[in-house]
Chains A and B, each alone.
Chain A
C-alpha cells in the first residue's frame, strides 16, 4: 500500500510519463507514485522472466519483490539511460545469481542481448527513411532462406505467427526463432551499413 504523496502528480500524468521520466522521479524525489506506475508496467513481465529462469512460482515471486525493492533503494546510484534494456539485464542477472546460489557448480553465461533498442533509437537519427529502406531491402536479401521467408511473411504479408508457421511449414517456435534471429542479423547488417 503506497501512502499518498503530497507532491505526486495526478494518476493520468504519471501514465503519460515514459519509463525514464519515472525513473528520474524515483531516483531524485523518491516518488512513490512514480514507483507504483513503473511497478504496474513491468511487474508482470518481471514475474514472467523470473518464472522462465527459476521455474517455480514462489521463488519467482520473492525475486520480483527483491528486484523491485532494490529498484526503490538503489536506483539513484545508477545512470539509467534506457530503462527497458537495463531492467531486463537486472532481472536476468538476479535470476542467474539465484540459480548460482542454488547450484554453484552450474555455469551460466549472461549475455547482453538488449542493445537492439538503443541501436534502433539512434538509427533513425543517423539515416533518413529512404536510405534506411534501401539498406533494409539489401540486408533482407542477404538473410538465409528460413529467416527471409519468415520475416517476409510476418512483416510484409502481415501474417500472424500461426499463419506464417502454416505457410512455411515450420513450427510456431521455429517461426519465432527465425524472426528474432532474422531481426538480429538485419540489425547487424544495418549497423555495418550505417557506420
Chain B
C-alpha cells in the first residue's frame, strides 16, 4: 500500500463493528490484521467509539450483549399499499402447492401475533374463503370433466363407426371379400347412431353441442381417410372398409380428439406460469425501480449456468449505476469484460461513460 492509499484511508468508512469484533477488541483477542481494521473503523465512526466506551465501563459486557433479545414487535395498522406490492420473491410461489398453501399461511400469521387486533395485510382475511372456493371449483370442474367425458365417450365411438364405414368405401378397393357383410352392419349401426344422436339433439342444448362436435369429428375422419386413400385409384363399386382401415381411422380420430383437448388444457395452464427472476427484474427495471430490480437480478445471476447469467450481471451493474453505487457497478462491468461475455461491449461502454463522468467532475 503506497502513501497515497494510506492517506486516503482517513476518508474511508467501513461497515460498523460486529458484536464479535467489539468484544474481541475489548478482550484484546483480535489478530493484528483484524485489530488494524477495527482501529481504522473506530477512528472514523462515532457510533462504534461511543459503544466501545460504554461497554468498557461494563464488567460483564459479553453476558449483557448475549442476554439481549429482539423486542416483541407490535402489530401495525395497515398502511397504504406500497408500489412494489408484487415485489415478492418468485421462489416460494413457483410451486403450485406452495402457492395454494400461501393463503392459509398468510391468514394464520397475523392471528399468531399477540394482541394483533388488525392484520398486517387486510385483504388476507378474504384469502381463505376465496382459496377454498377456488379449490372446490377446481374439484367440481375436474369431476365434471372426467365424468362427462366418460359418459359420452361410448356413444361418440358408436357414431364414428358408420362414418368410417361410409368414408372408407373408396379405400376398400383391394380389401378382402370377407368383409363384404360390413356395409349392412355399418348401415344398421349408422341408423342407430343417427337415431340416438337425433334423440339427444332434442334432449338438451349441451348434448346438441356434443352432437355438433361428433359431426365435426365425422368430417375430420372423412378427411383423414380420404387423405389416406388419396394415392390409390378409386374403386368402381362402393366397397366396405377393411378392419385395419377402420382401426386406423378410429385411431386418427381419437388422436385428433386428444390433440384437440390437450392444447386446450395447456392453454389454461400457461398463464399461471411464474415469471423468472430475470423477467421480474426487467419488469422492475423498466419501472425504474432499480433497488427492487437489483434484488431480482442478483438472484438471477446466482445461477452461473443460466443463459441469462451475464445479462443479469449486466443489468445488476446498470441498477447499481443508477443507484449511484459506482464502485459496485464498476466491479460488475469489469467482471463481464474480463469474462468476455456477449455483453462485453456494452459493459465496456458503461465503464468508459463512468470514467468520463468521473473525470468530468
A125 touches B39 (CB 8 A): no
Chain B residues within 8 Å of A16, by CB: 298
A129 touches B361 (CB 8 A): no
Chain A residues within 8 Å of B158, by CB: none
Of B4, B7, B105, which one neighbours A6 at CB under 8 angstroms?
Answer: B105
B113 touches A28 (CB 8 A): no
B57 touches A120 (CB 8 A): no
B46 touches A128 (CB 8 A): no
Chain B residues engaging chain A, CB cutoff 8 angstroms:
1, 3-4, 6-11, 13, 16-19, 22, 32, 35-36, 39, 42-55, 57-58, 60, 64-65, 67-68, 70-71, 73-74, 76, 79, 82, 84, 87-89, 91-92, 102, 105-106, 109, 112-113, 120, 291, 295, 298-299, 358-359, 361
Q: Complex: how many Å from CA A154 to CA B44?
A: 12
**Chain A: minimal CB distance from B43 (Å):** 5
Chain A residues within 8 Å of B42, by CB: 176
Chain B residues within 8 Å of A140, by CB: 7
B51 touches A47 (CB 8 A): yes
B74 touches A155 (CB 8 A): no
A45 touches B48 (CB 8 A): yes
Chain B residues within 8 Å of A29, by CB: 82, 84, 87
Do A52 and B7 contact each other (CB < 8 Å), given the known contacts A57-B64, A158-B36? no
B68 touches A73 (CB 8 A): no
Q: Kindly state whether residue A114 has any CB partner on chain B within 8 Å.
A: yes
Of A21, A50, A128, which one neighbours B54 at CB under 8 angstroms?
Answer: A50
Q: Complex: how many Å from CA A14 to CA B349?
A: 31
Chain B residues within 8 Å of A176, by CB: 42-43, 49
B13 touches A35 (CB 8 A): no
Q: Complex: how many Å from CA A87 to CA B46?
A: 11
Chain A residues engaging chain B, CB cutoff 8 angstroms:
1-10, 13, 16, 21, 24, 28-30, 32, 35-36, 39, 41-53, 55, 57, 60-61, 64-65, 68-69, 72-73, 76, 84, 87-88, 91, 113-114, 116-117, 120, 123-129, 132-133, 136-137, 140, 151, 154-156, 158, 160-161, 176, 179-180, 183, 186
Chain B residues within 8 Å of A179, by CB: 43
**Chain A: minimal CB distance from B72 (Å):** 8
Chain A residues within 8 Å of B71, by CB: 65, 68-69, 72
A51 touches B58 (CB 8 A): yes
Of B36, B45, B299, which one neighbours A160 at CB under 8 angstroms?
Answer: B36
In the complex, which residue of chain A has the Cβ closest to the Cβ of B22?
A44
In the complex, which residue of chain B has the Cβ closest to the Cβ of A48?
B51
Do A155 and B73 contact each other (CB < 8 Å), given the known contacts A44-B65, A61-B68, A114-B46? no
B109 touches A6 (CB 8 A): yes
Of A28, A113, A160, A180, which one neighbours B82 at CB under 8 angstroms?
Answer: A28
Q: Complex: how many Å from CA A116 to CA B113?
A: 41
B298 touches A30 (CB 8 A): no
Instruction: Knowing that A5-B109, A28-B82, A84-B45 touch, tell me 11 more A-B residue pairs with CB under 8 angstroms.
Output: A30-B79, A32-B73, A45-B16, A52-B51, A84-B47, A87-B47, A129-B8, A136-B10, A158-B6, A160-B39, A176-B43
Q: Complex: how many Å from CA A137 to CA B10?
A: 11
A28 touches B298 (CB 8 A): no
B7 touches A136 (CB 8 A): yes
A52 touches B54 (CB 8 A): yes
Q: Complex: how many Å from CA A103 to CA B79?
A: 38
A sample of 14 inter-chain contacts (CB < 8 A) reads A6-B102, A6-B105, A29-B82, A48-B55, A51-B54, A52-B53, A61-B68, A72-B73, A76-B79, A113-B46, A129-B8, A132-B11, A136-B10, A156-B3
Q: Complex: how many Å from CA A76 to CA B57?
A: 35
**Chain A: minimal CB distance from B42 (Å):** 8
B47 touches A45 (CB 8 A): yes
Chain B residues within 8 Å of A155, by CB: 6-7, 9-10
Of B8, B32, B51, which one neighbours A44 at CB under 8 angstroms?
Answer: B51
Q: Complex: how many Å from CA A63 to CA B112?
A: 26
**Chain B: minimal CB distance from A194 (Å):** 11
Chain A residues within 8 Å of B13, by CB: 117, 120
Of B8, B58, B74, B358, which one neighbours A133 at CB under 8 angstroms?
Answer: B8
Of B36, B112, B358, which one neighbours A3 at CB under 8 angstroms?
Answer: B112
**Chain A: minimal CB distance from B91 (Å):** 8
B39 touches A161 (CB 8 A): yes
Of B43, B68, B79, B89, which one neighbours A47 at CB under 8 angstroms?
Answer: B68
In the complex, which residue of chain A has the Cβ closest to the Cβ of B52?
A48
**Chain B: minimal CB distance from A132 (Å):** 7
**Chain B: minimal CB distance from A38 (Å):** 11
Of A2, A6, A21, A57, which one neighbours B58 at CB under 8 angstroms?
Answer: A57
A48 touches B6 (CB 8 A): no
Chain B residues within 8 Å of A151, by CB: 10
Of A1, A28, A91, A186, which one neighbours B10 at CB under 8 angstroms?
Answer: A186
Chain A residues within 8 Å of B60, by CB: 57
What are the 10 closest A-B residue pairs judged by CB atoms, nearest first?
A48-B51, A51-B54, A52-B54, A48-B54, A45-B51, A28-B82, A44-B19, A48-B55, A65-B71, A49-B50
